[in-house]
Structure 1
């Protein structure tokens, strides 16, 4: 059963002035006339539900959304507690945990690997070019985020204690939902009925919001993380494509088989960041994912977020 979208707005007490302070009594205010010819508009949550359900029908895919406006506290949720395979979106949390664990001066140490390391990891465009000379830990982290380099991700995981180390790091963020079972490339595989290599949109959105808090990352490390995410080479057709042109999007994408995901920190001009997690999965496990689905979901939900419209 699909969960309905939930809008939760934190409303300031100043938003509703008291009648006693308006110079009129309650008896002086005319009662509204009942409508006889026009039905009231459906609530925004229902409209968005219908939009997302239509996209699910059009693309034959399941969609999960969790959005948090860090300025107002408003949220948008759609299938936000359902499980999806996370694919490479997990890399942002591996890198964040490395930044938390490893002192800045230690990130300049050179890490080396073999051709076999690259071959076993699969897609590794950066590390494949540096088998002979290696890269620093910081450069590996950047490659994992900007280029979604698998071997770089595995080397970062080695440094933070493997899947168990990342699982512990997620739990520090309050995430007890995500199940980190494998490294690359197996982390893209989800066994039906099992939780390994899956998360829920709400878990990733709240985790990303927690990562950005000063008690988790120093301001300099937070800036570094967002810079690496802002230059994500694989995200242009996803949330970034669905956001207004003048909004800044720092994201990490993920995709495998019928799964296409993107999680992002989206900043409208002059406003607080909005945390967005969009996870999608084709109903047909043999069907290829479609970037357009994520972009259109992002367009729909951001239009109902701060600065995006009604």
Structure 2
């Protein structure tokens, strides 16, 4: 799919399962996890996932896009994986990764200041509102963007890397020519008619998150920092984390605005390589508020297939 492809809704999609032949280093110990051939999934398993996700769509009157990559076997699961959705705040994990990639250690401690007007323009800004009088370091702003989804912090980190076009270019270097980043907060939550701006696909986000370390988007030294920020995501408890089997760890970045609710995550079963999972949802009634349960239940359908 190219950037010219528009938002659309496919009728009764089927789940696609495949085995990819590549070597992943993303979300894995330094040096990577070699991907080995996976067993072929049965038609019954595909039908179970498809039926389960269609039931979620009907139950919550939503459209769901899901993409999962098993980094241990290379198997993928995709449901509406090539369909465009607004990404909302999930994109902040890639923003933070690009900040870490290009910012030297000493520059991360530089103090950054902002104004009340910056906060008013950005909207939701719990951390930067509390620290208006004192400022934060550049690294603390990146952490606030991921952990608390602070909008003013997000915009200041965009300033640090050179704006949305630079993040868009960073994703292109990862091989993602689908995600289309055009705005900062709060505009990045808006998808215009007949526009690909501020949209992605579940397949694109899963592939990009898996590729982060392998394509040099962040160094091995920085990977634990990004993972820790995602593990502390204050807004994700009701999403993929709620749908994961007991004992599985989830590091994620949520996003939500209006009818859109999303989560992008690295899910690690005990004693097994990580799974990279993207769940994107939008209410079919654009005026209706999003529902967390549509994300958590979609995650449960897919994760229970690979448990």
TM-score, structure 2 length as denominator? Answer: 0.88
Q: 1:267 offset after TM fit, Å?
A: 0.6
Aligned residues: 282
Deviation at 1:216, TM superposition (A): 3.0
The alignment status of 1:8 with 2:21, answered yes or no, reads no
Does residue 251 of structure 2 align to residue 250 of structure 1? Answer: yes
2:133: which partner in 1? 132
Please give the alpha-carbon distance, in whole angstroms, between the structure 1 residues aligned to 2:179 and 2:215.
22
**Which residue does the alignment assign to 2:219?**
218
Ranked by relative contact order (alpha carbons within 8 Å, sequence separation 6 or more), the top structure is 2
Q: In structure 2, what is the equivalent of residue 205 of structure 1?
A: 206
In structure 2, what is the Cα distance between the partners aligned to 1:259 and 1:296?
15
**1:74-99, Cα deviation, whole Å (9 max, x unpaired):** 10000000000000001001100001
Gaps (5+ residues) in structure 1?
17-40
Show the 5 A alignment for 1:1-310: 1-2=10-11, 3-9=13-19, 43-213=44-214, 215-305=216-306, 308=307
Measure how far apart 1:192 and its partner are: 2.5
Q: CA deviation at 1:46?
A: 1.3
Aligned CA distance change for structure 1 residues 46 and 140 (closer, same or farther; 3 Å): same
Q: Matches of 2:38 and 2:170 in 1, distance apart?
A: 39
Q: How far apart are the structure 1 equivalents of 2:61 and 2:139?
A: 40
Distance (Å, rounded) in 1 between the aligned partners of 2:267 and 2:43:
27
Mark the runs of 5 or more structure 2 residues left unpaired by the alignment: 1-9, 21-34
- Distance in 1 (CA, whole Å) between partners of 2:38 and 2:18 is 18
3-state SS in 2 of match to 1:266: strand
Name the TM-score, length of structure 1 as normaliser: 0.88
**CA distance in structure 2 between the partners assigned to 1:8 and 1:178 by the alignment:** 22
Counterparts of 2:36 and 2:237 in 1: how far apart (Å)?
A: 36
Provide the rounded CA distance (Å) in 1 between the counterparts of 2:256 and 2:184.
15
Q: Structure 1 residues 13 and 71, CA, compared in 2 at 3 Å: closer, same or farther?
A: closer
Any conservation in 1 of the 2:38–2:74 contact (CA below 8 Å)? no
User: Against the structure 1 CA distance between its residues 202 and 42, is the aligned structure 2 distance closer, same or farther, given a 3 Å change threshold?
Assistant: closer
- Rg comparison, structure with higher value: 1
C-alpha contact (below 8 Å) 2:147/2:234 kept by paired residues: yes
